Amino acid sequence: MGTEGSATIDTGSLSKRGTEKIVEKILSDARSEAQDIRTYAETQVQDILNTAMKEANTQRDAMLKKGRQEAETEKSRILSQARLDMRKKILGAKEQQIQKVIEETKRTLSDAKKVPQFDKVMERLTIESCVALNGGDLKVSTDKEGMQSIAGSKEQIEQKIQEDTGRETTLTISDDGVRGVVVESPSGVVVDNALLTRLERRKREIRKELASILF
């Protein structure tokens, strides 16, 4: 029993307050820890999102770069093909023009009246062919117009061949439907100076000349 006037200590109250403080401390620590965890989690999530965004941007940039490169490659391919196609068309058009001129030339050569200085052409071809065979007794195949042309200057032609070869020359002229001349020696050696044959022999050279004139 206590002395009168002295303070009475309520141990029950002290115990209750202590327990409450401990509980509050635990709760406070728990709230603080939870906040720290939440903050850390949010930071981690943000870091993950930032990393993912960077990776996505990097992938997007890489895809855009790849797309641009593929687009440029396709553009170059299309332009190259277009240039090639255009070049083919131009070459085709040029070839048509050249072939047209050659065909017109063939038609001209088939008509003696259209061949410029036909008599001189026939004389030169005959002399050239016969000199190549070193003169002598030679057969000259030509056509009707050719026979008429050569016959008009046959003696002069034979004389010129003899002067160039030093050999007496006699020409036998026949109408074999040849525009120009084809000359044959007694041994069977032939010099073909038909106009169309000469045209074919010089076709590559003629094409170059026509190309420079036309284009």
Here the CATH number for the domain that contains residue 187 is 3.30.2320.30
pLDDT tens across 60-74, in order? 888 888 888 888 888
Both 128 and 79 in one domain: the answer is: no
Tell me if 95 is assigned to some domain. no
Predicted TM-score (pTM) of the model is 0.56
Vertex 166 angle, CA 161 and 170, to 5°? 45
pLDDT band with cut points at 50, 70 and 90 for residue 4: very low
Q: What domain range is 26 assigned to?
A: 13-86
Tally of domains within the chain = 2
CA distance 215 to 212: 6
pLDDT at 13: 58
Q: Considering the domain boundaries, does residue 37 fall inside one?
A: yes
158 or 23, which is more confident: 158
Confidence label for 58 from pLDDT (cuts 50, 70 and 90): confident
Report, as an integer, the average pLDDT of 25-41. Answer: 75
Amino acid identity of residue 109, one-letter, is: L
Phi first, then psi, for residue 6 (nearest 5°) are -85, 155
pLDDT in tens, 168-189: 999 999 999 999 999 999 999 9
- 47 within some domain: yes
What is the average per-residue pLDDT within 3-29?
61
pLDDT digits (tens, 9 = 90+) for 74-102: 888 888 998 898 888 888 888 888 888 88
pLDDT at 114: 82
The encoded tokens of residue 117 equal 């200085």
Both 60 and 119 in a single domain?
no
Domain check: are 57 and 117 in the same one? no
Q: Does 156 reside within a domain?
A: yes
Judge whether residue 138 has pLDDT over 70.
yes
